Each structure stands twice: as C-alpha cells, then as structure tokens.
Amino acid sequence: MNHRTAVIVGAGHGVGRETALAMVRAGMNVVAVCANNTVPAKAPALPHREIAHATLACDFLDEAAITEAMRLAADRYGSIDVLVNAVGGAVPRPFEQLSLDEWETQIHTGLTAVFLACKHAVGHMRKGGLIVNVASMAAKEPYANWSAYVAARHGLLGFSATIREELRGRGIAVTVITPGATDGLLEFGQPEEWDSARMLSSRQLADVIVQTVQLAPHAVVVVEELCVRNPTGRMK
C-alpha cells in the first residue's frame, strides 16, 4: 500500500481516529479530516517519521470546507486513492422526545456529511480508487430509542449502493462496512441491556478496514458490503 493516499473523514475520535493511525502503520499517506470541535484535543497525532500525513479541521456539513479539504489532500499527494467516511452521531431517546434539531443533526451528520465527502472526493480519484463508508448493523437491525441514528444508517446503505453503480464504469469501488456495536457508541450512552465487554473495539474495526483497503488495488474481487461483529452475535 506504499505511496497510496487515504483521506479519513471523522478522524477525530473512535473508528475514524483508529483507522487513520492504522493506515499510517500500513504505510499510506494519510489525511485525517477532523470535525472542528475535535482539533487538536482528540485529533490523531499520526506519529511516523517516514510516512507523509496531515490533519485538517473541517465542518463536515460546510460544502465549501469539505471541497477545500479534498482539494488540499489531492494537491498535496497527487490524488485520493481511498476515502473512508467514519462520521456519525446519536441521540438515543424515544422518537417522541426528539427535537427536530436533534433529528436533523443525526441525519445530516450520518448521511449528508458522507454525501458531501463522496461528491467532492471522486473528482480526485482514479481507476482503482475505493470509498469505504462505515455504517452500522443498526441499518439492518432496529434498536428502540435510536430512530434517527437507524434512519441515517439505512439511508447510508441506499446511498452507497446507488453511487456504487454510478462509479463502476470509472473503476472506483464502494464498500460499506456494517459493524455491530463498537466501543465508540459509549460516548452517546449505553442501553442497559448492552454488555460493553462484547463490543468491538475501534481498533479491531480499523484493522478490518485496512485489510479491506488492501484488496482494492488488485481488482480481482470487490468487497461491496462487509458485516463485522463480535462472535457472540447481537448485543441483546
């Protein structure tokens, strides 16, 4: 994977942060795009003396800002080979208690931000490029009190499947990773029936993402969707 460039959107915490660090360890040029409120406190340091990397602060919902972030990444390294979208957020409570602002924030963060990143990255991608959208098993298995999060993840599956068809002719693949509960969800609140000891760690999921990325340049197979969870199955 040497000399390939990966842009990680949502690299300020959780799966995104661990994926950025894992990509550096794998020998890639990495641009870690973090939300404004995660820089510099939670942004990955990306320590490596030999691998090129950069950390950018960005409002994921500001189209001009995300456009500029993708341009800077491509200008610095020549192109974008891999785009990983690891963004999202949750306000877990009964849907009747959700405010319209809380609903729209979760939809915008979990779906609209991915749309903007994909839209403005693909113009800098060449044949053999790969988009990895990190969704959730919540897109397939509804969880009470997580309606907006589940809706955003459902939407992400449909969006990813559609752009996959649009990009096939350009040789750009689209993979969706649907993990079971990860430890990153704990920052949003843990349902009483969930056992945190059975959650995937963000680093475990990051390693799976890197392994998936390693397949892409060979173009022998394309991983279109990959479900990843603890061997014990559902959290409840």
Range of the domain at 44: 5-228
pLDDT more than 90, % of the chain: 56
pLDDT in tens, 88-113: 888 989 999 999 999 999 999 999 99
Q: What is the CATH number of the domain that holds 80?
A: 3.40.50.720
Which of 28-32, 55-59, 102-106, 179-183 has the weakest average pLDDT?
179-183
In a domain, 184, yes or no: yes
Instruction: Read off the pLDDT band of 59 (50, 70, 90).
Output: very high
Whether pLDDT at 1 is above 50:
no
What total number of domains does the chain contain? Answer: 1
Residues in the chain: 236
In a domain, 235, yes or no: no
Sheet holding 29-35: strands in order across? 53-58, 29-35, 5-9, 82-85, 130-134, 173-179, 225-228
In a domain, 102, yes or no: yes
In a domain, 199, yes or no: yes
In a domain, 216, yes or no: yes
In a domain, 207, yes or no: yes
Q: What is the 3-state secondary structure (H, E, C) of 67-101?
A: HHHHHHHHHHHCCCCEEEECCCCCCCCCHHHCCHH
pTM comes to 0.88
